Chain A
Amino acid sequence: MGLRAYIVTRVLLTVPMVFLLLTIVFFVMRILPGNPVLLKFEKNADPALVAQYTHMLGLDKPIWQQYIDYIWNLLHGNLGLSMAGSFEPVGPEIMSRFPATLELAIYSTIVAIVVGVLLGSFAARKRGSIADGAIKVYGIFIYSFPVFFLGMIFQIIFGVWLRILPVGGRTDIGMIPAGLTIGNMHIQTGLYTIDSLLAGNIPEFFTALKYLFLPSISLGLVISGVFVRMTRTNMMETIRSDFVTAARARGLRESTVVYSYALRNALLPIITIMGLQFALLLSGAILTETEFNILGLGTYLVDRINFRDYTAIQGTVVFLAILISLVSLIVDVLYAYLDPRVRY
């Protein structure tokens, strides 16, 4: 099977997953008590008004009819209108919230990889030493931390006692990095660190970075435990392989052997872990966003759940499911590209 055929198969395989999750969420939410209408009105509200509102949201139709309508709209790329608040379209709302989550995810992953690879490869090199034991314990210890507790500790140290870092939000009030305009084309990613660079505004870039610092360190450290462990295991196996022994036999320095021979090969599986950890990363992002007051996808979902906003919740689930499939696909393709032994 060629690469293209592989990609097509994978994309087709994600359809049942998205469909399945959506169907479960759709029916479970509607079958169980509580809905956006009941939450909107008082207990003894005018029945006519309630009926009118129910009709407006389309919730008076039979459930299967609602389901077919929703799927039909979804196939046309339409996620519908929100069922609470100002009834704004769900799709654009999700897209406006997503960059904050993406930015947090990117920077946290960088933190996790840097910490994980450094500690993991060091531990593998000093296998069995006290340092190795300590790093192993670090991995277990940091995994046991609720990300928001770590965030609180950082907030109180750096934000309240030392007063050197902001404890919430994405950037200073009223400052939204402009992005880049070439002719009548406007590039604005919504990722503040990138937009500010595109606009050539260095102070804005550092401000955005300053706000990102504590959230991404908190989330990155919590996830780094898994990276430390995997890097260590991979490194120990690679160090034992023939080509490393050969490099050592040629009289290369130990650090050259470890860091430029073994590490390169041990790093390949890290890409796979990144894909596997993506769901964990998103779970952590919800808590981190709540703790640091970041208006991302996680806070959007939590906010909408309180209103039983069916369409918004369904939309977010569909979006996340597609996102996860996409990430795992990219990871697989990237892996095949980097490791010529893997062919599809």
Chain B
Amino acid sequence: MKKVGSEQDSLFSASAILFRPLTSAIRKGNGRNFIIAGLAIISFITAMSILAPFISPHNPTALDIGPPNSPPSRQFPLGTDLYGRDVLSRIIWGGRFILLVAVTAVLVCMAIGIPIGLLAPYAGGYVDRVVSLVMDSIYAFPSLVLAIMIVSIFGPSVINDALAIAVVYVPTYFRVIRSQVLTIKELPYVEAARSIGANRLSILFRYIWPNVLASVVVVATINFADSILTTAGLDFIGLGLPVTLPDWGIDLTYGRQGLASGFWWDIFFSGTMIVLSALGFSLVSEGLAERTNPKLR
């Protein structure tokens, strides 16, 4: 902190008083840096994926663009892979499908998880207990094992990957939403609404839902990160996206073949992109969580 009393300082404090409403609004947002950093990463990757046809120097699937396994050079800034494809172009194109899987998975999860999570505790009794049992069973089981089984049965594709992720992730939405609904529906303001004769649905959607929304957003962002990691994991097992697509997960898997010869660029860039995109969503999730939960600060 600067010394008190200098001229610059008094100017500084004067401006601080003038702009206090503004600065306090920014300061009040805990986890702000995380959210900004995360959004920056996400925007960068999204822009890159959308603009791929315009910014990619080569065709990502064309073989023998250069000599196979050549290290990063001026001509190929990130090197070439086992089949002589340009790694940079594959990196630029490689986010499209893995992100598409993540977006689809999150949408499917929300479409299933939110209504069940809201309605089950309201239905109460047997319905709630049976649904909870099913959800808890799935939740407790290693998610990758289930995802592997689902994809192996339906075959690898964007939709099937997304469905597999949805099946293993819906329980997370369910548990978070259900526990919140159970707490919130006993709060005095909900009781007040009930006493003035509001019907059940309007209580659920107009009184309870707005307070559940914040945690749904936190879950959804971490769901994005986990979807990206799960898709990469499925790719790695050989059950993810079709191998003909330019995709970070597939490049990472096949890049392993050059590992023993020390061809680090085959895995390093694709792996880094996966980490980066998962990181972007994790950062946003953490930032949002810190905003709502003071214990984490």
Contacts and interface: CB of A to CB of B under 8 A. Distances in A.
Interface string B249-268: 00010011001111010011
A280 B229 CA distance: 12
Given A20-B133, A29-B153, A305-B149, A320 B237 contact: no
Given A32-B153, A146-B275, A156-B259, A140 B141 contact: no
Given A32-B153, A146-B236, A328 B140 contact: yes
Interface in A87-143: 136, 140-141, 143
A149 B271 contact: yes
B286 A140 contact: yes
Interface stretch (B106-114, B182-190, B277-285): B277-285
A199 interface: no
Contacts, number: 136
Contacts of B144: 282-284, 286-287
A200 interface: no
A321 interface: yes
A149 to B, nearest CB: 4
A11 interface: no
B86 to A, nearest CB: 21
Contact of A283 (B34, B138, B145, B282): B145
Contacts of A167: 259-260
Interface string B225-260: 100010011001101000000000000100110011
Interface in A287-310: 287, 290-291, 301-302, 305-306
Contacts of B136: 17
A161 B144 CA distance: 32
A262 interface: no
A72 B275 CA distance: 46
Interface residues of A, number: 49
Contacts of B271: 146, 149, 152-153
Contact of A324 (B140, B267, B268, B276): B140
Nearest to B225: A144
A146 B267 contact: no
B142 A282 contact: yes
B141 to A, nearest CB: 6
A34 interface: yes
B137 A21 contact: yes
B295 interface: yes
B133 A302 contact: no
B134 A155 contact: no
A334 to B, nearest CB: 18
B139 to A, nearest CB: 8
Given A140-B282, A148-B236, A20 B137 contact: yes
B296 interface: yes
Contact of B279 (A20, A144, A233, A306): A144
A283 B142 contact: yes
Contacts of B149: 25, 28-29, 305, 313, 317
B112 to A, nearest CB: 16
B158 interface: no
Closest 4 CB pairs of A and B: A283-B144, A144-B278, A149-B271, A282-B142
